[in-house]
């Protein structure tokens, strides 16, 4: 029986969550990766998640179906156009329409449920507060508040068996630093997917915020971008 500590890692199959998972692995954790089919138009990311989970040696990869489309309120789940070709200045203003209401709260809640069942005290999430898309639930103050809530919510914490830590190793990194860190840890970014609005065959649009941040990250990291963009 393994004596490794367990970690639940939220895995979207993008650069950030993949790198966060590689960091968890480098710390010696036994990895339980968690992905969600939540009605996202870029459900192709779920294929990436599976490949990343295998590649990084997850002990188990769990996919939960969750119909956030019924709730709506986002360009990622509704019939609202994903913005294209925005400048960095435009991205820097406000919260974009790709925001999904309470997404990280929902995802962390389910990660928390699984963490308690597995007796995994560490939950990794690849949020970062630099080079991000302006989402409020990627900020350190949100993460700290969620962690405090988690430790009041679950039986294992209240009974003193474990204390949940929400681990955000990327929170103060630029996208370029994230990519360099991942490369050092052996991440194969060809397996990852970032695009919010892929073509039916899964190719990246090259123009949504997520593609633009990805391109810029590889450029600034001085690493060849393995992604095939349609534009």
Is 165 near a second copy (CB under 8 A)? no
Shortest distance (Å) from residue 109 CB to a second copy: 4
Is 155 near a second copy (CB under 8 A)? yes
Shortest distance (Å) from residue 215 CB to a second copy: 26
Identify whether the C-beta of residue 27 lies closer than 8 Å to the C-beta of residue 142: no
Task: Indicate the burial class of 153 (C-beta count within 10 angstroms; 0-12, 13-18, 19 or more).
Answer: middle
Shortest distance (Å) from residue 46 CB to a second copy: 15
Of 4, 47, 88, 101, the one binding a second copy (CB under 8 A) is: 101
Phi first, then psi, for residue 10 (nearest 5°) are -75, 125
Is 83 near a second copy (CB under 8 A)? no
Identify whether the C-beta of residue 98 lies closer than 8 Å to the C-beta of residue 209: yes
H or E element at residue 210: helix 209-221
Of 16, 116, 131, 197, the one binding a second copy (CB under 8 A) is: 116
Rounded alpha-carbon distances, angstroms, from residue 58 to 153, 171, 173, 178: 27, 22, 24, 20
What residues make contact with a second copy under the rule CB under 8 A? 62, 64-68, 70-73, 94-95, 99-106, 108-110, 112-114, 116-117, 136-137, 139, 141-142, 145-146, 148-150, 152-155, 157-159
């Amino acid at each position: 029986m393994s004596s490794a500590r367990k970690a639940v890692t939220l895995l979207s199959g993008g650069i950030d969550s993949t790198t966060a998972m590689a960091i968890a692995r480098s710390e010696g954790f036994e990895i339980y990766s968690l992905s969600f089919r939540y009605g996202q138009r870029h459900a192709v990311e779920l294929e990436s998640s599976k490949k990343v989970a295998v590649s990084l040696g997850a002990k188990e990869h769990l996919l939960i179906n969750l119909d956030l489309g019924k709730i709506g309120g986002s360009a990622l789940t509704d019939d609202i156009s994903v913005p294209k070709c925005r400048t960095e200045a435009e991205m820097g203003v406000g919260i974009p329409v790709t925001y999904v209401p309470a997404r990280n709260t929902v995802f962390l809640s389910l990660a928390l449920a699984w963490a308690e069942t597995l007796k995994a005290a560490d939950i990794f999430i690849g949020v970062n507060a630099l080079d991000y898309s302006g989402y409020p639930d990627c900020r350190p103050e949100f993460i700290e508040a969620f962690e405090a809530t988690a430790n009041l919510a679950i039986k294992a914490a209240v009974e003193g068996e474990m204390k949940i830590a929400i681990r955000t190793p990327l929170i103060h990194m630029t996208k370029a630093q994230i990519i360099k860190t991942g490369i050092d840890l052996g991440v194969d970014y060809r397996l990852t997917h970032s695009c919010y609005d892929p073509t039916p065959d899964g190719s990246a649009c090259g123009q949504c915020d997520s593609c633009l941040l990805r391109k810029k990250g590889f450029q600034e990291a001085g690493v060849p971008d393995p992604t095939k963009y349609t534009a």
